[in-house]
Structure 1
Amino acid sequence: MNEKVITVGIADDHSLFREGIRLIVDDFDNIELTLEAENGQDLLTKLQNNTPDVILLDLEMPKMDGVETLKRLKEDCNYQELKIIILTMHKEERMIAYLMELGANGYLMKDAEPAEFEEAIRTVYEEDHYFNESVSHAMLKSLKDKSNKTPTLRNNYQLTSREMEVLELIAKGLTTTEIGKKLFLSTRTIEGHRKNLIGKLGARNTATLIIKAVKEGLISLDF
């Protein structure tokens, strides 16, 4: 059986950067760049006829920047399954946390190595989120620093002990397969728990699930 080809789109106002990404992606097995846009407006227009699995979205663009584009996409029911990786040259902690809360699935520095681009695309497609070590630290540290919220009792969300186990392992960065092996459960069962957690906490995706769990005091993370 042929492996599924992951389709990718990029929105960036610099044509040379887009061409560089195309050359990089061409070297990845079963990943194909199928859409290029020069700003957010251009992306929204082209998505009507071509919706890739993953979008690489630049933050700073004319006409419509990455923040506004992300908001529009996450508010549109037609793009609920679209995975969005933010591209930027800035690693500002509050901005990272803000974008993840808006529903971004990952955050990647534009000067990252090709191998990290490939890892980010595959991980976002397969696991719904991608946090590298530095971004995870920045995002979760920002959440802890700015949140004075009293932790919510776990029972308020009616999470089972198994769901709490899965939630804590997701927050530690384990993949669905790794969690399944650790808990001696099938990947389908773990995926079911993940979807239940997203529903119970009212999260947009796995990334916002982790954010909300930290904010609500359901899990704690030490650096």
Structure 2
Amino acid sequence: METIKLGLIDDHNLFREGIKSLIDKMENITLVLEAVSGKDLLTKLNNVVPDVILLDLEMEDMNGVDTTLKLQELYPDLKIIILTMHKEERMISYLMEIGANGYLLKDTNQKELEEAIRSVYQQGVYFNPFVSNALLKGLKHKVTKPPMIGKDYYLTARELEVLELITKEYTTSQIAEELFLSTRTIEGHRKNLMSKLGVKNMAGLIMKAVKEKIISV
């Protein structure tokens, strides 16, 4: 039986270690690449290209949505299984539409994980009932832009944390201290938030976030 080369992209070390322990029990499936973000993945793909990758959605530097789009451009034959905690049906539909080959929740068991890897490798796609239902709904309501989990904007969990602290009038340095990040990183999140919500300043950001019920004050 042909060996399947697997890549694992997730920014949580403990989660990666757990998945690696499951992969070690699978016959003819070998982990050949690990990365902590989309940018890290793209760099490492210069040295080795797996057959299938397990890709998290929320990562620093480059999230799973942007990574999927970039991989479709640069490595169209690379199979992508999204592995995340997000159950948002619009997100599933959107990711499958832009090129993901499968979608699994992180609480999946070893049997389904192995089944998904083999199915995507051999057939190019893996559907479970949860994904199938999301795609059927997606046919009725076509998603044309990345949705946010439960909202109209795709914001990462970290961006939501920053946004909530901004609405509480925390300064950049206070937010950095609260989240154990650098002020430069917080400034980057501020710029991303303004860009995604289409505003030009902090006042506009807070008003838009409240108006769209992204956060409550």
* Interval of TM-score (by shorter of Structure 1 and Structure 2): 0.5 to 0.7
The AA in structure 2 aligned to 1:131 is F
How many angstroms does 1:142 deviate by? 2.4
Query: Which residue, out of 17, 23, 26, partners 2:24?
Result: 26
Aligned to 2:77: 81
The AA in structure 2 aligned to 1:43 is L
**SS across alignment from 1:104:** coil
**SS across alignment from 2:119:** helix
Aligned sequence identity (%) = 62
Structure scoring higher RCO (CA < 8 A, sep ≥ 6) equals: 1
Aligned to 1:41: 39
> Alpha carbon RMSD of aligned pairs, Å?
1.1
Work out the CA distance in 2 between the residues paired with 1:67 and 1:126. Answer: 24
Query: Which residue, out of 30, 53, 68, partners 2:66?
Result: 68
How many angstroms does 1:139 deviate by? 1.7
Work out the CA distance in 2 between the residues paired with 1:69 and 1:22. Answer: 21
How many angstroms does 1:146 deviate by? 4.4
1:33-53 CA distance string (max 9 Å, x none) = 111001110000001101010
1:39-86 CA distance string (max 9 Å, x none) = 11000000110101000000000011101111111011xx12100001
1:126-179 CA distance string (max 9 Å, x none) = 0000111111111222222449xxxxxxxxxxxxxxxxxxxxxxxxxxxxxxxx
Work out the CA distance in 2 between the residues paired with 1:111 and 1:121. Answer: 16
TM-score normalised over the length of structure 1: 0.62
Q: Which runs of 5+ in 1 are unaligned?
A: 148-223
TM-score normalised over the length of structure 2: 0.64
Work out the CA distance in 2 between the residues paired with 1:72 and 1:142. Answer: 23
Aligned to 1:12: 10
**SS across alignment from 1:122:** helix
Runs of 4+ residues over 4 Å off in structure 1: none
Work out the CA distance in 1 between the residues paired with 2:142 and 2:15. Answer: 35
Work out the CA distance in 2 between the residues paired with 1:142 and 1:67. Answer: 17
Aligned to 2:87: 91
Work out the CA distance in 1 between the residues paired with 2:107 and 2:89. Answer: 18
The AA in structure 2 aligned to 1:102 is I
Work out the CA distance in 2 between the residues paired with 1:146 and 1:73. Answer: 22
Aligned to 2:98: 102
The count of residues paired between Structure 1 and Structure 2 equals 143
Aligned to 1:192: none
